[in-house]
Chain A
Amino acid sequence: MNDEIVIRATDFGKRYARHAAVCGLDLAVRKGELYGLIGPDGAGKSSLMKAVAGVLAFEEGRLEVFGLPVGSEREAERVKGRLGLMPQGLGQNLYGDLSIEENVDFFARLRQVPAAEAAARKERLLAITRLAAFRARPMKQLSGGMKQKLGLVCTLIHAPDLIILDEPTTGVDPVSRRDFWAILAELIADQGLTALVSTAYMDEASRFTRMSLLHEGRVLAEGAPQDILALAPGVLVQCRVEPQLEAISRLAADFPQCEAMGPDIRLFAAGLDEAGARAAVAQRLAGLPCQRLDVMEPELEDVFVAMLSRQGAAAATAQPVSAAVANAEGLAIEARGLSKCFGEFIAVGDVSFQVRQGEIFGLLGANGAGKTTAIKMLTGILPPTRGEGRVAGADMKQAGALIKSRIGYMSQAFSLYLDLTVAENIRLYAGIYGLDRRRRDSRLGWILDMAGLHGHENDLASSLPMGLRQRLALGCALVHEPRVLFLDEPTSGVDPLGRRAFWDILFRLSRVDGVAMLVTTHYMSEAEHCDHLALMFAGKVVADASPEAMKQEVIAEAGQLYRLQADNAAALVRPLQEHGFANVSPYGAALHVLTREPERLRKTLAGMGVPADLRERPIAMEDVFVHRVSQLEAASRKGQP
């Protein structure tokens, strides 16, 4: 690898008014690297990327791109021709009414690429991204994954040496995400590119050559994925113990990173090896029947959380929600053949499912799969075209004030009144739900406890960090103690620590208070927290079962999951498929293979002369999703020749 430095930041800092977005950041990206910036919203990723691209002025430190300083507008002009920037947001830099081809041509002319060169490069890029077949389709009719691939083509049309991609995969379904990363890896290897890429998905981190973990404008850790994993040694333990609540409270004393995952408990045993962790857990759980206990290598997210906790950034641990275990009987939510059409477009088609009291039900799918539309029909915001949504036995179309006062709703992007303070927001919703003064004050106290908002009562909601804003929104949705709670992408943009604290609250609400919850998310890792899942794809529910059952079904169909570590693993995909291993997909620098014949796989690899490290892994929801959707896509391809 070439050691030439493409980007070098020294003590870089950027402020917005009084707020420091980035501060004291050092970073060096070498030529040919796929360099990752990882962190939640507000960590400073976008500020750094825009400054590197020369579109954002900064105050502190020094920034060099291709060895040239980019402190001023004029200096930045000298490097702009050699770099490409893809801003955050699906298709944000593209023109919705122009076709794929017109978009590419526009960017080529904008960058003054000679016509013949542009035409040749366009054909090659459209072929690699498999967009060539849709070249006449207007951009706004593309799926999220296709928009991002088109964005990549437009960013690459002037053959830059450096590309800067700001959260290119956020909101894109897991299949398209894997596709996007594969294409990016191919292009980088093929064209000697350097790429600076940011992501909010921790599980994508293993795909980077090197990376920086950012948190609140500072670098928490820097290096190759294995270097970062080595920073917080330990193992991951996943076990199933009854009763779950008691087991968690026992384990949490020794293991701060302990959380419920549906019926399971997942914990990070810091500093312990496998034997040590088994012993420590067994000792704590003495007397409780343990149905299953797996020990695994930790993921980057566990390390990130461990490092954050070490910094003392511990999120307020949630208080027990209430004393009495509520009655959790009966159906809470029911969708019966729910459909919504916008003109010709079917946003939701014939969706049916049931949610019982006290259950956390996850509605899973990519942006545009129909999750939000479904939730809006169930809460009575949107009238369904066909079918009905029932909550607590009543049709939401005719729902009166009585039903409405039994449900709580937390919409996407935490719709709070940002110009009101924390206490004012809570009091407003208390008043809307008709709480009297005494009850209002007691609920205010409860919400401040629950969300860890003490000391922030008189802060404007706009001044809160995302994690607190999210818990305030949850508090507002819970002010009237609803029996049914709808949560639409409640965790997007929140850091892993905040996400964990949030899920802990939801878990207690369901187990202790018997609240029924319908949660939508595009984070596959969060699906594990749910008791029951419905997988949505293109407006339809394609699977409806518990996470465990979904996994077992995939295992029964396609076999166990194995992680294959090898040099240049991506090159093994095709040969393995030719040997009859149909379910092979790149996962970071490794491969994930679903197979019932691990021995044949080992032999095949040996036969190919590849020294490979093959390990069985518990199957994750993302693998389930990718498997199901690949099947569907293959079926629909066969269906329409």
Chain B
Amino acid sequence: MSDFLLWWRLALRRFAVMLVKELKQLGRDRVLLAFIVYAFTADIFLAASGVSLSLNHAAMLVQDMDRTPQSRELAARFAEPHFQQGGVVTRDAQGLAALDRGEAMIVLSVPPDFGKHLQKGEPVAVAMQVDTTNSVLGFLATSYAQEIVARFGLESAMRRLGLAGGAAAELPQAANEVRVWYNPNQEDSWFMGISEMLNIATVFAVLLPAAAMVREKERGTVEQLIVSPLTPFGILFPKVVSMTGVILCGVALSLFLVLMPVFAIPAKGSLALFFALSGLYVFTTAGLGLFAATIARNLAQAGMLSILILAPMLFLSGAWTPPEAMPAWLRGLMFVSPLHYYLDIAFGILLKGQGVTELLPAIMGMTAIGVGVFAFGLLLFRRQFD
């Protein structure tokens, strides 16, 4: 029994000195510290306030070959804030050239006799050329334009039937009444801010333990540790614990200093639960960092390997693309990205106010994959010393 107690006392003493060492080392690395603070504050602020997924001020040119009140009215309906009219063109080639040069995103061509056809009650088409290099914006521009043209057509038709103004309301129509939940003002900043915070936490969860481990390799201090009675687990456990602590501080910083006060994110659920699960996520994801540190010989290699690991992880998480939009085989892969579950958990707690019961599947998925990843990292790390 006393042997057992002695063993624990020794193990705890070793853990404590190693933990203190890691924190001191990180505390003296001013550059890394500044980078961490920047990433968890300014970067998240920029992502939340700057990145928007809506169509704003899309540059537009009009080729009006009709020059009637009807054609002018249609063109005028493409207005701020979605569209910004940049002038007129007279020939087809001009419009195409403007698209090629990137000066315009949309060129609307109204054919000759557009007004005449409308007055006669004949169907007529307008041509619309859209630059869809950015597929999201292109898609939005196309759908807005379709809606504007369709409404214009409907109203012209009704006017011709003599149903102007209030009379239109008496027509049989289905109206769409939307209730917006969880993000009532549909603010991009909420989604972008939280996603960015989780992405940053993921990046550091991989990078920091990898860097801390590789630094020891580079300096040769790791050999000093291997020769000591420390086990491989005893070497890396304090590292991962201290780095997890640092990252949780970073998450707290961005949540309490940026997201909640500046962007009024409500944090509806239990913050304790959020931090506990964040801790679990960061700790298990560190396994990937250990994997990188095992293979890499120096800091530069570890950094590049981490990027290689992180890129598919972030891409498969659903933070950048909704899972439903992905092809089926990729959607299957998403279930192995721990960030995918963490994302569900974070949005669930912060915006929806979910608790353990609602999040249980996500928590279990994240735990299972995380433990697997950490065990994998640990196994590889140990094997390099055998």
Interface residue ranges, A against B (CB under 8 Å): 376, 379-381, 383, 401-402, 404-405, 407, 409, 411-413, 415-420, 424, 427-434, 476-477, 486
Write out the residue numbers on chain A whose beta carbons fall within 8 Å of the beta carbon of B224. 409, 411, 415, 429, 476-477
Write out the residue numbers on chain B whose beta carbons fall within 8 Å of the beta carbon of A404. 227-229
User: Mask for B24-35, Cβ within 8 A of A = 1, else 0?
Assistant: 110011000000
Q: Judge whether B223 and A431 touch: CB under 8 Å.
A: no
Q: How far is the CB of B346 from chain A (nearest CB, A)?
A: 34
| Alpha-carbon distance A152/B385, docked complex (angstroms) | 39
Q: Judge whether A428 and B17 touch: CB under 8 Å.
A: yes
Write out the residue numbers on chain A whose beta carbons fall within 8 Å of the beta carbon of B223. 376, 379, 381, 409, 411, 415
Q: Judge whether B220 and A413 touch: CB under 8 Å.
A: yes
Write out the residue numbers on chain B whose beta carbons fall within 8 Å of the beta carbon of A429. 224, 228
Q: Judge whether B10 and A412 touch: CB under 8 Å.
A: no
A to B CB contacts below 8 Å, 10 in the list: A379-B223, A407-B227, A413-B220, A415-B220, A416-B221, A424-B24, A427-B17, A433-B228, A434-B13, A434-B14
| Alpha-carbon distance A428/B29, docked complex (angstroms) | 18
Q: Judge whether A432 and B221 touch: CB under 8 Å.
A: no
A420 interface neighbour in B24, B220, B228, B385, Cβ under 8 Å: B24
A419 interface neighbour in B16, B18, B28, B229, Cβ under 8 Å: B28
* Interface status of B154 (Cβ within 8 A of chain A): no
Which chain A residue has the least Cβ–Cβ distance from B16?
Answer: A431
| Alpha-carbon distance A419/B31, docked complex (angstroms) | 13
Q: Judge whether B219 and A415 touch: CB under 8 Å.
A: yes
Q: Judge whether A380 and B220 touch: CB under 8 Å.
A: no
Interface residues of B in 58-88 (CB under 8 A from A): none
B18 interface neighbour in A376, A412, A432, Cβ under 8 Å: A432
B228 interface neighbour in A376, A383, A432, A486, Cβ under 8 Å: A432
* Interface status of B333 (Cβ within 8 A of chain A): no
Which chain B residue has the least Cβ–Cβ distance from A376?
Answer: B223
Q: Judge whether A428 and B21 touch: CB under 8 Å.
A: yes
Q: Judge whether A417 and B21 touch: CB under 8 Å.
A: yes
Contact of A432 with B229 at beta-carbon distance under 8 Å, contacts A413-B220, A418-B219, A419-B28 already known: yes
| Alpha-carbon distance A486/B219, docked complex (angstroms) | 18
| Alpha-carbon distance A2/B266, docked complex (angstroms) | 86
Which chain B residue has the least Cβ–Cβ distance from A403?
Answer: B229
Q: Judge whether A379 and B227 touch: CB under 8 Å.
A: yes
Q: How far is the CB of A513 from chain B (nearest CB, A)?
A: 19
Q: How far is the CB of B222 from chain A (nearest CB, A)?
A: 8
Q: How far is the CB of B362 from chain A (nearest CB, A)?
A: 39
* Interface status of B368 (Cβ within 8 A of chain A): no
| Alpha-carbon distance A401/B11, docked complex (angstroms) | 12
Interface residues of B in 195-211 (CB under 8 A from A): none
Interface residues of B in 243-277 (CB under 8 A from A): none
Contact of A434 with B229 at beta-carbon distance under 8 Å, contacts A419-B28, A419-B29, A428-B21 already known: yes
A417 interface neighbour in B16, B221, B385, B386, Cβ under 8 Å: B221
| Alpha-carbon distance A411/B230, docked complex (angstroms) | 17
Which chain B residue has the least Cβ–Cβ distance from A405?
Answer: B229
Additional pairs, 7, CB under 8 Å, beyond known A432-B17, A432-B225: A381-B227, A402-B229, A405-B228, A405-B229, A409-B223, A476-B224, A477-B224
Which chain B residue has the least Cβ–Cβ distance from A418?
Answer: B219
Q: How far is the CB of B39 from chain A (nearest CB, A)?
A: 21
Contact of A383 with B386 at beta-carbon distance under 8 Å, contacts A416-B221, A434-B10, A434-B14 already known: yes
Q: How far is the CB of B234 from chain A (nearest CB, A)?
A: 9
| Alpha-carbon distance A409/B227, docked complex (angstroms) | 7
* Interface status of B126 (Cβ within 8 A of chain A): no
Write out the residue numbers on chain A whose beta carbons fall within 8 Å of the beta carbon of B14. 431-432, 434
B229 interface neighbour in A401, A418, A420, Cβ under 8 Å: A401
* Interface status of B164 (Cβ within 8 A of chain A): no
Interface residues of B in 1-46 (CB under 8 A from A): 10, 13-14, 16-18, 21, 24-25, 28-29
Write out the residue numbers on chain A whose beta carbons fall within 8 Å of the beta carbon of B17. 427-428, 430-432
Looking at B24, B29, B225, B229, the one whose CB has the most chain A CB atoms below 10 A away is: B229
* Interface status of B308 (Cβ within 8 A of chain A): no
* Interface status of B226 (Cβ within 8 A of chain A): yes
Contact of A381 with B225 at beta-carbon distance under 8 Å, contacts A420-B24, A431-B13 already known: no
Write out the residue numbers on chain A whose beta carbons fall within 8 Å of the beta carbon of B229. 401-402, 404-405, 432-434
| Alpha-carbon distance A50/B230, docked complex (angstroms) | 43
Q: Judge whether B227 and A417 touch: CB under 8 Å.
A: no
| Alpha-carbon distance A404/B219, docked complex (angstroms) | 21
| Alpha-carbon distance A413/B224, docked complex (angstroms) | 12
Write out the residue numbers on chain B whose beta carbons fall within 8 Å of the beta carbon of A379. 223, 227
Looking at A417, A420, A486, the one whose CB has the most chain B CB atoms below 10 A away is: A417
Q: How far is the CB of B246 from chain A (nearest CB, A)?
A: 16
Interface residues of B in 108-139 (CB under 8 A from A): none
Q: How far is the CB of B53 from chain A (nearest CB, A)?
A: 43
Q: Judge whether B228 and A415 touch: CB under 8 Å.
A: no
Write out the residue numbers on chain B whose beta carbons fall within 8 Å of the beta carbon of A430. 17
